[in-house]
Each structure stands twice: as C-alpha cells, then as structure tokens.
Amino acid sequence: MFIMVYMIFINILAFTIMGIDKKKARNGEYRISERTLWTVAVIGGGTGAYLGMKQFRHKTKHTSFKWGLPVLMVIQLGLLVTYGID
C-alpha cells in the first residue's frame, strides 16, 4: 500500500514540476534545476516526468531527457511489475 501511494505521489510531483519549469521558462523566471528534475524522476517519478515532458513539450530537445526518461520509465515500471505493489 505504501509503495502504491508513494509512486502516485512522486509521479504527480514529477509531472507538476515539469509543467512549473516550463511556465518559468516561458516567463523568463528562475528555473528548477535539471538536477532536481532528474532526482525526482530517478526516485520513482520517471513516468510522471516523461508524461510531463510530452504534455508540456519541455526538455524534448535535450538528449538526456529525450532518451533517458523513457528508459527510466520502462525500468521503473519493470521493477513494479517484477516485485509487485503491496
């Protein structure tokens, strides 16, 4: 149960911060660092970050995001399927 709640939360967070960073980029404001975006993705938010990247068309030209987020998403989903959600 905890893992499921955590995964939902972290993926919503990842999706949201991608949208916030895109808005800040458009407005010329102080940005969320790529390190923070990657940290949230790596700690379980790979799917949310990938979906946010696609939805907001953000970081799509950065090779590390373009290829890294889908790979991270597949790995995280594979781990969930393999080890299950309690």
Please give the pLDDT value at position 8.
94
Per-residue pLDDT of the chain (86 residues; tens, 9 = 90+): 788 899 999 999 999 999 999 999 999 999 999 999 999 999 999 999 999 999 999 898 999 999 999 999 999 999 988 887 65
User: What does the alpha-carbon distance between residue 56 and residue 37 come to, in Å, rounded to a whole number?
Assistant: 14
Tell me which residue of 8, 7, 24 sits closest to 58, measured CA to CA. 24
Q: What is the pLDDT of residue 26?
A: 95
Domain ranges of the chain: 2-83
| pLDDT score of 86 | 59
